[in-house]
Amino acid sequence: MATVSSVDLAGLGGTTSAQVRKDLSIFGSFGKRGLGYSVADLTARLRGILGLEHIWRVCIAGAGRIGSALVRYPGFAARGFHIAAAYDADPERIGSQWGELRVRDIRELGSDAARERFDIGVIAVPADAAQHVADVMVASGISAIMNFAPVQIATPPQVVVRTVNMVLEFEALSFALANREK
Amino acid sequence: MATVSSVDLAGLGGTTSAQVRKDLSIFGSFGKRGLGYSVADLTARLRGILGLEHIWRVCIAGAGRIGSALVRYPGFAARGFHIAAAYDADPERIGSQWGELRVRDIRELGSDAARERFDIGVIAVPADAAQHVADVMVASGISAIMNFAPVQIATPPQVVVRTVNMVLEFEALSFALANREK
DNA sequence: TTCTGTGAATAGGTTCACAGCT
DNA sequence: AGCTGTGAACCTATTCACAGAA
């Protein structure tokens, strides 16, 4: 039976073995002392904890580069994230084919969401439109938002928002470069 | 004179006023009591601290969707990140024009880096090639790496690495959705 | 009076280290 | 012997709260 120890996992994840054990112990005792964790068992349990046996319906607002990258990234669909719809405000883009998806008018997002029950909304629109899109998503019942716009988004507390800001990531590198000792 | 208070900044950044003041106080006393922070002064000082008055030379390994998104994102160049070169291993892509950039053969990255003094290397190649690309970057003197490949990268301690893993971000949303109380 | 800057108190997270199961 | 699970120790980050400058 294939097993991994917390030391192995720490190496893969770039952390420490104590950290791995503590983190896993929050959810239960998955390992065997003297042996480690069964890969198959641990994988299954983590999928359960992370909610990955469920297929989540994702809608993307903004049919630009970011949305495009997500749609074409294979690991994405493989992990249970199904991109159900894409929207844009630009008439040039609306109606264009995106793989199997047809880009829809962003004004349809609200009514579609109520009907198609999207679980996750992706905001990939310019910063000045981000809050409005978020409001529409929240109003139509979406309770998890992935935000790629470089602004802070206000939502009711029951809505989960994660913001990814590429420029901020690079600025962190810039900071490290500027402040490293030579 | 335009000023902002720590309360204003906390609202913009999604944090608390005490947090803002503590963070800023690490680098000095930029504000005026009873008034707040001068926007112009604070901006200038933060640019200095973050190293943003310097223009950083960025090279991208992997001329796919991610690199493309970075090249075309306007806020990127505006913040002092100049994309100096892009590389790929695919003969189909090598030589193709990417705005003003011509995609180069990734085997030239090592020798180019020594000559063109790249500050930041972006890894946007498949997971199985990421470590090799990182090794080449490190060997040629690049000391800051932005990693978009879904793997942990090993580097010497003086090299700064930031990893952005889109799938992981979505899995965090999945976790939140799966574990929210109904 | 407003709002910063900062010690003190508190909370949160990580590491240590070891008992105990396999 | 090997490796987990976990209390205790430790360390770091956030929040509180207030003196003092504008």
Which of A70, A123, A166 would you mutate first to test chain B, the one with the most B CBs within 10 A? A166
Confidence of residue A107 (pLDDT cuts 50, 70, 90): very high
pTM of the model: 0.94
Q: Tell me the average pLDDT across A148-166.
A: 93
Contact B160 A166 (CB under 8 A): no
- The residue type found at B124 is A
The reported pLDDT for the residue numbered B49 is: 95
Query: Quick one: CA dihedral A10, A44, A76, B87, positive or negative?
Result: positive
Contact A79 B119 (CB under 8 A): no
Distances in whole angstroms, Cα of residue B38 to Cα of each of B6, B61, B85: 11, 40, 38
Query: With contacts defined as CB-CB under 8 Å, which chain A residues touch B173?
Result: 56, 120, 144, 146, 160, 162
Contact B69 A65 (CB under 8 A): yes
Round to the nearest angstrom and report the end-to-end CA distance of chain A. Answer: 49
Contact A51 B179 (CB under 8 A): yes
- Residue A109 burial (CB < 10 Å; 0-12/13-18/19+)? buried
Residue A181 has pLDDT above 80, yes or no: no
Distance CA(B142)–CA(B158), nearest Å, equals: 10
The reported pLDDT for the residue numbered A1 is: 64
SS3 B115: helix
D4 nearest neighbour residue (CA to C1')? A33
Strands A101-102, A97-98: parallel, antiparallel or unpaired by DSSP? antiparallel
The reported pLDDT for the residue numbered B181 is: 64
Low-confidence ranges of chain B (pLDDT < 50): none
pLDDT one-digit tens code per residue, B55-86 = 999 999 999 988 888 888 888 899 999 999 99
Confidence of residue A179 (pLDDT cuts 50, 70, 90): confident
pLDDT one-digit tens code per residue, A7-62 = 999 999 999 999 999 999 999 999 999 999 999 999 999 999 999 999 999 999 99
Longest alpha-carbon distance in chain A: 62
Which of B19, B23, B27, B50 would you mutate first to test chain A, the one with the most A CBs within 10 A? B50
Distance CA(B136)–CA(B132), nearest Å, equals: 6
Smallest Cβ–Cβ distance between B119 and the set A52, A69, A177 belongs to A177
The reported pLDDT for the residue numbered B114 is: 86
- The residue type found at A4 is V
Cβ of B16 near strand D (under 7 Å)? The reply is yes
Query: Quick one: CA dihedral B116, B120, B124, B126, positive or negative?
Result: positive
Q: How far is the CA of B11 from the C1' of D19 (A)?
A: 26
User: Average pLDDT over chain A, rounded to whole?
Assistant: 94
Tokens 């998806």 belong to A101
Residue A182 has pLDDT above 60, yes or no: no
For residues A50 and B142, is the Cβ–Cβ distance under 8 A? Answer: no
Confidence of residue A128 (pLDDT cuts 50, 70, 90): very high
Contact B174 A80 (CB under 8 A): yes
